[in-house]
Every structure is written in C-alpha cells, then in structure tokens.
Amino acid sequence: MKGIEIANKLNISTSALRHYESWGLVPKVERAKNGYRIYTKEHEAYFQCIRALNAGFGMDLVKKVMPLIINKKIHDALWLINKAQVDLYTEKETVQKTVKILDSKELTEFYSIRKFHDKNYFTIGEVANEANVSASSIRHWEKEGLIKPERHKESGFRIYSPYDIRRVFIIRTVQRVVYSLDIVREVLADIEKNNIVRMKEMALQSLQYIDYALIEQVRGIASLQNLLEAVSKKEEV
C-alpha cells in the first residue's frame, strides 16, 4: 500500500505516518528499490489503532502501548490501557466531588467530625489524597500564591484548613479544563465573591469531556482488538 492511501483513509498527512514510524509505533517499514516505503495491511491496522487510541488515551500512552504490541508484550499493553481507564474514572469522581463541595455548607458536611475526628486542619498528604493530586502540585500552587496554608507553630509543617482544601479542589478542576493559572486566579476571585456559577460550569464542562473521553476509549479498545486479530492472523500464516 502507498502511504497516501492510508493517510487519506485516516484523514491525516503522510508526514504524520512518518512521525509514527520514527517514534517506533509501527513495525519496521520496508522500502522498494526506488526508495518508497512499502506499507502492508498490518501497518494500516497499526496506524488506525494509533489514531483511535490517541483520541481517548492521548499520545503519551500510545507511545508506551504500541511498542509493547510490536514486541508481543500484549498483556503489559492491556494493563496500561486498563490503568488509564481506572484513572479516568478516578478523575470523574474527583470532579463530581468538587461540584458537591463548592458550597461551604456541603464542604463542612463533607469534612465531617466523624471522618476527621474533629480536626480543624489537615496535612499536605491528607489534602493530596482527598483531591487526588500530588503534594508537589499543591506546593506549586502555594508558590504561585493560589493557596496560603498556615504553618504549625511547633513543627513548622504546612497545615490546611477546610477553606484551603476547597481551593485545592477548585484549582485542580479548573486547571484540568483551561490549564492557565491566570484563569484559575480569575475563577478563585469569582468564588471569593460567592460567584460559583462559573466554577460549576467549568466543572460540568470537565465532566462532559470525561464522558467524551470514555466513548473514545471504548472506540480505541475496539480498534486495538482489530489490530491484535490482524497480528494474530499474520502469525498463523
């Protein structure tokens, strides 16, 4: 097959095919005497799978999965896919949790006495665990002035109030949608004025994207199954 034939089917450029090849995402491509690449049906299946997986899982994961498929490490590849699906579900839970605690009353109920044993402050580890973010991200947001935790008088460690935790959830969700810290600051300023409409809209937008990613992941897995069947048939021959 010619590269242009595959590119047209996938609605991409031939340069994209060459990029995927240079990244080691498809089996070795032989060349004709005139130097042109010789693509096979197997290569086409790989390219289709790359495009399908990218839509739901992202190219970073594709770059890990496809070399494993090429090297017959199928189970390793499938477990990476499985973990990404779990991560997406965790992301959904966290965003839903953010929506629920935007209201200060709900925040108080969420961090109940029963759950935290009547504590009025929390460690960075507890905050990171609840918000499903790394401690380094929280420290970065502190450095950017987005949160300002106090320090324990005796130990000197950071201590976070329910108010701080609320801001961590908000920062995390907004940044998932817009990435820009300047917009995060604007949203936080709105919320300080008790204007949580914008934040809820962004959180709901994030949930919509998660639903979209879920559908694309299912399509990507279907394409991966087609690829595995094509590889299996080739080995049988």
Residue 114 clears pLDDT 60, i.e. is over it: no
Q: Is 31 strand, coil or helix?
A: strand
Question: Which two tokens mark 182?
Answer: 């300047």
CB-based contact 121:160 (threshold 8 Å): yes
If you average pLDDT over residues 42-64, what whole number do you get?
A: 95
Q: How far apart are the C-alpha atoms of 211 and 146, rounded to whole Å?
A: 29
Mean pLDDT of the chain: 83
CB-based contact 88:129 (threshold 8 Å): no
What percent of the chain stands above pLDDT 90? 41
Q: Which domains does the chain have, with CATH numbers?
A: 3-73+219-236 (1.10.1660.10), 103-195 (1.10.1660.10)
| H or E element at residue 186 | helix 181-192
Place of tokens 């709900």: 106
- pLDDT of 122 reads 84
Question: What is the length of the chain?
Answer: 237
Provide the β-strand partners of residue 30: 38
Closest CA to 71 of 29, 28, 107: 28
Q: How far apart are the C-alpha atoms of 161 and 149, rounded to whole Å?
A: 7
CB-based contact 124:165 (threshold 8 Å): no
If you average pLDDT over residues 212-226, what whole number do you get?
A: 95
Q: How far apart are the C-alpha atoms of 36 and 151, rounded to whole Å?
A: 65
- The phi and psi torsions of 28 (rounded to 5 degrees) equal -55, 135
Residue 175 — very low, low, confident or very high, per pLDDT cuts 50/70/90?
A: confident
- pLDDT of 34 reads 85
Residue 119 clears pLDDT 90, i.e. is over it: no
Residue 112 clears pLDDT 50, i.e. is over it: no
Q: Is 72 strand, coil or helix?
A: coil
Closest CA to 20 of 39, 33, 36: 39
How many CA atoms does the CB half-sphere of 28 hold within 13 Å?
3
- The phi and psi torsions of 30 (rounded to 5 degrees) equal -75, 165
- Whole-structure pTM value: 0.66
Closest CA to 173 of 113, 219, 132: 132
